[in-house]
Amino acid sequence: MPVDVVLGLQWGDEGKGKIVDFLAPSYDIVARFQGGPNAGHTIYMGDSKVVLHSIPSGVLHERPINLIGNGVVLDPAQFAMEVQQLESLGIDLYGKLLISERAHLILPTHRLLDASSESHMGERRIGSTLRGIGPAYTDKAARQGLRVGDIRFGDFVRRYEALRDAHLRRLDQQVSLDLAQQEQQWWAGIERMRAFRLVSGEQVLYEALSQKQLILAEGAQGTMLDIDFGTYPYVTSSNTTAGGVCTGLGIPPTAIRSVLGVIKAYCTRVGSGPFPTELNDETGERLRQAGQEFGATTGRPRRCGWLDLVAVRYAIRLSGVQQLIVTKADVLNGFDPVQVATAYLVNGQPTEQFPYDLVRQKAVPVYRPLRGWNLNHQAASHCETLQAFLDFVAQYTGVPVSHVSTGPQREQVVCFA
Ligand code: GDP
Ligand code: IMO
Ligand code: MG
């Protein structure tokens, strides 16, 4: 059962990229199973900063092969830019990156549809990254989508034009004049993709599993953005929970060995929607500055708040998380006390369950204050107040903390396992 899974358990941006990069040398394959270029996974290699959107976070190492799985939606133009970014850092992807032929393509008009839908929704907008994710998954579910493997067939241009024209008919506003330029970049991206091995991802993984190879499945977004279990409708359009691993890669549930959940020591959210522990005050601003909480994909300021253990335990139960990895512990340096939410008051009633709807009813967090720490003065491994915080998290959730991350660099990880 050699598939391990890394998932974000909050609203995304938990530091999954850094953790996958840290774990990757122990694996033969790193595979992305859902999402698309709405993701921004940041990795620091010394002074170089790499932000990956569609390409798995194992590419910076020699060992693993990296697979973009069938559950991913891929934008060829964005993909080509990422390839170029990695090449400029001297990273050779050829031979190291496979793309599932079943992955769906994001068209330039998917992005226009995303923008049009958001502008029509006004105040109720999702706060999408506008990368065309929702419209691409919509076409997939409507059985109209184009897939990566389709680029090999002679009718691909005709099928592209038919889908594009169908999209244009739905766009009532003036279509942006640079569509032609976007299409040019898109077709250049398609040519770039042809240089890579377009594979049957499920067969590659079946063979790897047969040979007892080790596979790391890399999640994008986080549980609270899951299409079924997140704060609907303020979610993304894929399953970010463990169930998405099987459908997004074509592996059986019995192949999964362990599920690792990544959480920040506090909480952030980018885009609209409920966020019970959000701090719209100086403390929230202090967290944003200390954690440099600005989106890796869109640059938007992230909303910041305290750690929400009600939501984290809900996420753990949905995916069967067996180990927790706590990131950004250093960001809380000097915060004292550190608050964690252990329950909500909904309509005046206390609950520890994550509510069905937080748009029409408000959840007021019930906090437990814990003593703070300062890792500038004490090593994480010897810091009693940090240890007490981690023990509290483990006790509340019933899941041990295996690693703590104390900075953006690769080596800034403390392992407790
Ligand atoms: P992802 O989407 O889950 O991969 O996370 P992002 O890359 O969007 O956001 C995480 C941000 O926090 C990035 O800028 C990382 O470089 C940074 N980061 C990750 N772990 C740590 C940590 O332990 N401490 C600090 N200070 N920054 C971290
Ligand atoms: P990573 O993988 C944080 C959010 C958007 C928006 C909602 C829907 O870096 O953690 P979409 O573009 O999917 O239609 O947007 O989901 N969102 C993310 N927030 N991290 C992400 O990815 C996100 N991907 C999407 O801000 O609220
Ligand atoms: Mg991110």
Contact (Cβ atoms closer than 8 angstroms) between residue 303 and residue 231: no
R_g over Cα of the chain:
21
CA distances from 91 to 46, 201, 204, 292, 319 (A): 15, 23, 23, 27, 33
The Cα 151–Cα 190 span in angstroms is 8
Among 41, 61, 110, 167, the active-site one is: 41
Residue identified by tokens 């592996």 is 251
The rounded distance, in Å, linking the Cα atoms of 112 and 110 is 5
What does the angle CA 295 – CA 298 – CA 300 come to, to the nearest 5 degrees?
A: 55
* The predicted structure's pLDDT at residue 1: 60
Ligand 1 probe mutation, 327, 335, 376, most atoms within 8 A of CB: 327
pLDDT in the model for residue 45 = 87
Whether 382 is catalytic is no
Measured at the alpha carbon of residue 281, what is the angle toward residues 278 and 286, in degrees to the nearest 5?
Answer: 90
Q: Residue ranges of the alpha helices (H) in 220-259? A: 243-249
172-179 contacts at long range (C-beta below 8 A, 24 or more positions apart) = 172/116, 173/116, 173/119, 175/112, 176/112, 179/108, 179/109, 179/112
Count CB atoms within 10 A of the CB of residue 135.
Answer: 26
User: Which candidate, 290, 316, 360, places its Cα nearest to that of 124?
Assistant: 360
Distance in angstroms (rounded) separating the CA atoms of residues 172 and 180: 18
Indicate the length of the chain as a whole number. Answer: 417
Whether the full predicted model's pTM is greater than 0.75, yes or no, is yes
Q: Is 372 in the pocket of ligand 1 (CB under 6 A)?
A: no
Q: Which of 133, 264, 270 to mutate to test the pocket of ligand 2 (most atoms within 8 A of CB)?
A: 270
pLDDT tens track, the chain, 417 positions: 699 999 999 999 999 999 999 999 999 999 999 999 999 999 998 889 999 999 999 999 999 999 999 999 999 999 999 999 999 999 989 889 999 999 999 999 999 999 999 999 988 899 999 999 999 999 999 999 999 999 999 999 999 999 999 999 999 766 666 899 999 999 999 999 999 999 999 999 999 999 999 999 999 999 999 999 999 999 999 999 999 999 999 999 999 999 999 999 999 999 999 999 999 999 999 999 999 999 888 888 999 999 999 999 999 999 999 999 999 999 999 999 999 999 999 999 999 999 999 999 999 999 999 999 999 988 998 999 999 999 999 999 999 999 999 999 999 998 886
Q: Are 7 and 223 in contact (CB under 8 A)?
A: yes
Q: Which residue has the tokens 């549980």?
A: 223
d(CA 72, CA 179): 24
Residue among 220, 241, 215 at smallest CA distance from 229: 241
Residue 343 alpha carbon to ligand 1 centre in Å? 27
Structure tokens at 166: 């169908």
Q: What is the DSSP letter of 331?
A: G
Please state the φ and ψ torsions of residue 176, each to the nearest 5 degrees.
Answer: -55, 140
| CA-proximal residue: ligand 2, atom 26 (nearest) | 271
Establish whether residue 295 lines the binding site of ligand 1, counting it when its CB lies within 6 angstroms of any ligand atom.
Answer: no
Distance of alpha carbon 399 from alpha carbon 118, whole angstroms: 38
Residue 66 · residue 165 · CB < 8 Å: no
d(Cα 111, Cα 78) in Å, to the nearest integer?
12
How many CB atoms within 10 Å of residue 200? 16
Quote the ligand 2 centre to 315 CA distance (angstroms): 17
Q: For ligand 1, is residue 58 a contact (CB within 6 Å)?
A: no
pLDDT, residue 2, reads: 93
